[in-house]
Amino acid sequence: MRPSPARLHVAGWLALALSLLAGLTIGGSGLGVGAALAALGGRGDDFALTVMREIRLPRALLAAAVGAALSLAGLLMQAVFINPLADPYIVGAASGASLGAALAILAGLSLSYAGQSGVAMCAFLGALAAVALAWRIAGGARRTDPFRLLLTGVALGMLVSALTSLLMLLSRTALEQAFFWLVGGFAAASWPQLPPVLITLGIALVFGAPAMAAMNLLLLGDESAGRLGIDPARLRTRLILLATLLTGAAVAAAGVVSFVGLMVPHALRRVAGPDHRTLFWLCPLWGAAALCAADAAGRWASGALAGGREIPVGVITAAIGVPLMLALLRRR
């Protein structure tokens, strides 16, 4: 017996509210829950207001936005490749972003535009360039075979990763900084990082929503989908473009955060069923809640277990997500 989509929506909003609450009340400064909530309402001293407005609020919201973007991107990639193991990085977005970021770090690029750092902009462009190259080599819009793109993306991703490793060996300081960036996280989250992710998310929701039913038809195979009036190659191109924009924006804001883009769509498919008309809205909602909660859990663990040392959010998503995923797999 599957829970109804309406129930999952209500539960998702509740989970998001709770994870945001956790994100806003957990931190290393000793600001208590009461003081944090008062600061959220605009009351408190300068210190409390700064912690809330400049550290916790942008951090929790960015984690939620990135979680939503990566989960939706994961869903779109899984629909494109008709494969539940596909994730947002499968056609080379992460390796492209990493190369862009490593180049910027190595070049000591310190310029920023409209609050976006040079490293973030290079990462975004790197992600787009890597996927565009894989798509072009795989035959572009003329080819309908998704596995060709998949293999091209994986192969190209390896080449780009090798280039990144080569670059990182040129400088020890750059290696350490690039490695830290690659691990991903929200410690340095700031307000200007939020709009690009939210705008991309909005674009993906607006232009992806009309394709929800068509994504279901892709599951029937290209021939059947074609007979039902769908152009599979065109649909895939559109979905890949949206997924790449989402992934590029997410990676530029937070580095390569692993697992959430794979786990959330996969887990929701097991709970809610394979209908993309439901999953399309549930994925960003639960993805936002999951990553925001993981980041809050990381901050709690940082204070309680790691002596104040920041635990990368990717470690937390894997630590919480893997047992959850295994439990779901055992249940069915």
Partner 1 sequence: MRCASAWLLAGLPLWMIAQTAQSSATTRMRLADDRGRVFAPTGQPPRLVSVMPALTEALFATGRGGRLVAASNYCDHPPAAAGLPKIGGPLDPNYERILALKPDRVLVMDMVPGPVQSKLSSLGLPVVYLREPRTLAEISRWMTRVDEFGRTMGEMDAPPPLAIGAFDAELARLTVPGSPRTGCLIVSPGQPLWTAGRDTFLDDLLKTAGCRNLAADYSGWAAIELEQIAKLRPDWLLYLGKPAAPGSPLDRLVRARKLKTLVLDENSASRPGPRILAVLRQVETALGTLPAHEPATGPTSQPPAPDSPPPAPHAP
Nearer to partner 1, 33 or 209 (CB): 33
Contacts for 119 with CB less than 8 Å, ≥ 6 apart: 101, 104, 105, 109, 181
Rule CB under 8 A: is residue 308 a binding residue for partner 1? yes
With tokens 């068509």, the residue in question is 214
Contacts for 315 with CB less than 8 Å, ≥ 6 apart: 298
| Site size for partner 1 (CB under 8 A) | 34
Among 4, 14, 28, 147, binds partner 1 (CB under 8 A): 28
Closest distance between partner 1 and the C-beta of residue 249, in Å?
Answer: 16
Eight-class DSSP state of 116: E
Contacts for 46 with CB less than 8 Å, ≥ 6 apart: none
Among 14, 140, 158, 173, binds partner 1 (CB under 8 A): 173
Task: Write the interaction track for partner 1 spanning residues 256-285; mark x where CB under 8 A is met and - where it is not.
Answer: ------------------------------
Among 5, 9, 310, 319, binds partner 1 (CB under 8 A): 310
Among 18, 132, 187, 271, binds partner 1 (CB under 8 A): 187
Burial call 306-320: b when 16+ CB within 10 Å, e when fewer = eeeebbbbbbbbbeb
Task: Write the interaction track for partner 1 spanning residues 118-157; mark x where CB under 8 A is met and - where it is not.
Answer: -x--------------------------------------
Nearer to partner 1, 1 or 110 (CB): 110
Stretch that binds partner 1, among 142-150, 180-188, 222-230, 281-289 (CB under 8 A): 180-188
Task: Write the interaction track for partner 1 spanning residues 82-121; mark x where CB under 8 A is met and - where it is not.
Answer: -----------------------x----x-x----x-x--
Q: Are 73 and 247 in contact (CB under 8 A)?
A: yes
What residue type is 293 in one-letter code?
A
Among 142, 309, 330, 331, binds partner 1 (CB under 8 A): 309
Q: Are 70 and 257 in contact (CB under 8 A)?
A: yes
Q: Which helix (H) or strand (E) holds 330?
A: helix 313-331
Q: What is the DSSP string of 194-248?
A: HHHHHHHHHHHHHHHGGGHHHHHHHTT-HHHHHHTT--HHHHHHHHHHHHHHHHH
Burial call 148-164: b when 16+ CB within 10 Å, e when fewer = ebbebbeebbeebbeeb
Closest distance between partner 1 and the C-beta of residue 139, in Å?
Answer: 38
Nearer to partner 1, 55 or 64 (CB): 55
Task: Write the interaction track for partner 1 spanning residues 30-59; mark x where CB under 8 A is met and - where it is not.
Answer: xx---------------x--xx--xxx---
* Structural tokens at position 30: 């000793």
* Cα–Cα dist 320/93, whole Å: 24
Report the interface residues with partner 1, using CB under 8 A: 27-31, 47, 50-51, 54-56, 105, 110, 112, 117, 119, 169-173, 176-177, 180-181, 185, 187-188, 190, 302, 307-310
